[in-house]
Every structure is written in structure tokens, then in C-alpha cells.
Amino acid sequence: MLTVGLTGGIGAGKSEVSRLLVSYGAVLVDADRIAREVVEPGTPGLAAIVETFGPGVLTPEGTLDRPRLGSIVFEDPEKRAALNAIVHPLVGARSQELQAAAAPDSVVVHDVPLLTENGLAGLYDVVVVVDAAPETQLDRLMTLRGMSETEARARMAAQANREERLAIADHVIDNDGPLAELEPQVRKVWEELVRRATA
């Protein structure tokens, strides 16, 4: 089994790369999706968040009000650390379960947005970084996600910078161009991953 940490800045196109890798046969462990699952109603994760941040972080239906919680933790490092201390161990445990369930010769791709920021590179056999110029990221966030320029820049600034991400990369996928230029790069990286997994 080969474990791969896949990361990239917001708007770099990481989800498109993970979609392609899955289409080739990768087993995907999506940290964002798991992070949503571990705080669904009735979970210990949601109970711990309510205990820490109060019932104001719930919607009237009893689900986590993500924008509300986001506004609380985004500008307060201590509160963000408190949230991470609840969510990260739960995500880590579920990620390990999913990885353990994969076949022995699998390439298991962990899609981890904050891999660089949280110093997680050492957990994986290989780190793949999806890279795009900051101008490209900004354009995509505003065009595709409807963010204001101020919001997009704030989100980008809250993440590791391009140099920090590239410093931990074993493979870099350049996603500055059109989709047609992305697929051949991803396939080439995939072939190398499979070669290593079966070696």
C-alpha cells in the first residue's frame, strides 16, 4: 500500500485532481468530507463543539451552522485551535479506518487541505501538491465560488503560502492552465504512484 498526501491552496483545483485519481483507481480518503461526517447531529464531535462554543453554533434544525462557527474561529487563533483539537483527532481516526480497509496493493490518496499548515507531510509515503499561481486562485475563488476579492484574499492568507507547500512536495501538478493540460500530468503522477505501490 502506498499512502499519498494530496494538498493545494484554496482554488488550486485539488478536488479535480482527486476526482481524476479516483477514476484511475485510487482509494480516496477525503478529510473535508470526513470532517463534515464527524460533526453530524448525534455525533460526539458535534456534542463537543456545542459544549465548547455554545448552542449558538447550531441551526434551528440542530445541525452545525458552519458559517456561524467559521466566523467565530476564523479570526481567533485560540478558538480555531480549540475547534481543531476536537475535529482533527476524529478525522484522523476515521481516515485510518478507511485506509486500513483498502486492499494491500492500493494507492490511498488522503485529500488534506491543511496538510502543510498542520505539519502532516511525514504521515504519508508521498506528498502531491496541486499548484496554481495566486492570481489564478483568486480568479477561481471569485469566478467559480462567488467570493468577494476581500474574502478570497483572506481565505488564501489563512493558508500556507505557495513556497511552503512546494517545499514539502514529492510531486507538483501545475494547474494554472486549462483542464486539458491537467489530465496528462495527473496520469503521469498516477503511473509513478502505482509503480511505487507495486514495487
In tens, the pLDDT along 40-91 reads 999 999 999 999 999 999 999 999 999 899 889 987 889 999 999 999 999 9
114 has pLDDT over 90: no
Identify the three-state secondary structure at position 28.
Answer: strand
Per-residue pLDDT, 94: 95
pLDDT at 103 over 90: yes
CB distance 132 to 85 below 8 Å: no
DSSP alpha helix (H) spans, the chain = 14-24, 31-37, 44-53, 66-73, 77-100, 134-144, 149-157, 162-167, 179-198
- Cell 502531491 belongs to 128
Share of the chain above pLDDT 70, in %: 100
Residue 120 in this model has a pLDDT that exceeds 90: yes
pTM equals 0.86
Residue 132 in contact with residue 13, Cβ under 8 Å?
yes
Cell digits of residue 117: 499548515
| CATH 3.40.50.300 residue ranges for the chain | 1-26+106-199
What is the rounded average pLDDT for all residues in the chain?
A: 94
The rounded distance, in Å, linking the Cα atoms of 174 and 156 is 18
Half-sphere exposure of 177 (CA within 13 A, CB side): 8
Question: In this structure, what are the phi and psi dihedrals at residue 27, rounded to the nearest 5 degrees?
Answer: -95, 120
* Tens of pLDDT, residues 136-156: 999 999 999 999 999 899 889
Q: What strand order describes the sheet that includes 27-30? A: 27-30, 107-111, 2-8, 126-131, 171-174
Domain 1-26+106-199 of CATH type 3.40.50.300? yes
